[in-house]
Amino acid sequence: MGTRWSARIVDPPEGSVAAIEVVLARIIDQMSNWEAGSAVSRFNRAPIGEWMALPPDMLTVLRAGLEVARVSNGAFDPAIGHLVDQWGFGPAPRAAVPSPPSPWTCIAVEDDRACRLANVALDFSGIAKGFAVDAVAAALRALGAANFLVEIGGELRGEGVKPDIQPWWVDVEAPPGLAAPTLRVALSDLAVATSGDYRRYRMDGDRRLSHSIDPATGAPIASGVASVTVLHDSAMLADAWATAITISGPDRGMTLATRHNLAARLILRAEEGAREYMTPALAAMLD
């Protein structure tokens, strides 16, 4: 996944590390665009219109991604792989490939199989890390662990409590260089995901090109959103929603988050510095 993982486990059952590594290897084998032999890479190379049976984890992530795409009006889109590559954020930067207005609508799913209806490519970089956090948590629970904190590339899930009976307190990562208020959350059977323009970007002259691609424009977002944090009982959905809100921008994004009762915070880069937006659901959690 191109990142690190960590796990803090109270009274860790024997085999915890091995179980985590098995889960992560399985997810990489299914959903990494950086592995030519992965299931998603093979799917993206399959002829248009040809159905392919998908492994269970990939099918779960694809169905979830398509649902978030539907309710966010395409702000989150798991089929923008060609755009990701075009802007130099994928494994194989390439020339522009004509893309339909809503790439996600060109993916068909039926039972345990899927196919491409046009020349689009799946890219799970906005949802797979969150799914991996959930999958690692499930593996630890299956071993008998009840109290732990799992982190993969900045996405976290806490279950149970620490040895001192305190919840897993986490300070949400703030965008570097911005004086944003510290957001401290208690992760007890809860996950948090943050999407930020400072994590993966490149400079084009004075322009900061974010890895967050807006499917509507086919280009990196230009709204000035520095970061979006979402708390959810599913790390996978927190991950996807953080991306959707980032793409949507401060006004549409926070309206969307409020409509779906999401606990979310958005930090905007403004002339006066950091401008913070918070949904009612998150404000209620912090009271």
- Domain containing residue 204: CATH number: 3.10.520.10
Structural domain includes residue 20:
no
Structural domain includes residue 190:
yes
Structural domain includes residue 61:
no
Q: Does residue 208 register a pLDDT over 70?
A: no
More confident: 274 or 247: 247
- Name the DSSP letter for residue 37: T
Which token pair is 240? 């996807």
Residue that is written with structure tokens 């996405």 in the block? 155
Which token pair is 73? 């009006």
- Going by pLDDT thresholds of 50, 70 and 90, the confidence category of residue 143 is very high
Q: Is 94 exposed, middle or buried (0-12, 13-18, 19+ CB in 10 A)?
A: exposed
**Mapping DSSP to helix (H, G, I), strand (E, B) and coil, where does residue 173 land?**
coil
| pTM exceeds 0.95 | no
Q: Does residue 201 register a pLDDT over 60?
A: no
Structural domain includes residue 249:
yes
Within its chain, how far is the Cα of 154 from the centroid? 10
Which token pair is 54? 């998908």
What is the total count of domains within the chain?
A: 1
pLDDT in tens, 53-89: 999 999 999 999 999 999 999 999 999 999 888 867 7
Which token pair is 228? 């979006």
Q: Which residues contact 136 (CB under 8 A, 6 or more apart)?
A: 5, 7, 20, 23, 24, 150, 152
Structural domain includes residue 6:
no
Query: Across residues 204-224, what is the average pLDDT?
Result: 70
Structural domain includes residue 53:
no
- Residues 260-264: contacts with CB under 8 Å, at least 24 apart: 260/71, 262/230, 262/232, 263/230, 263/231, 263/232, 264/228, 264/229, 264/230, 264/231
Q: Does residue 164 register a pLDDT over 70?
A: yes
Structural domain includes residue 136:
no
Residue 68 and residue 75: Cα distance in Å, rounded? 8
Q: Which amino acid is at 37?
A: G
Helix segments in the chain, DSSP class H:
16-31, 39-45, 56-71, 81-86, 128-143, 235-248, 250-259, 280-286
Query: Across residues 119-135, what is the average pLDDT?
Result: 96
Structural domain includes residue 116:
no
Query: Across residues 115-123, what is the average pLDDT?
Result: 96
Range of the domain at 267: 158-286
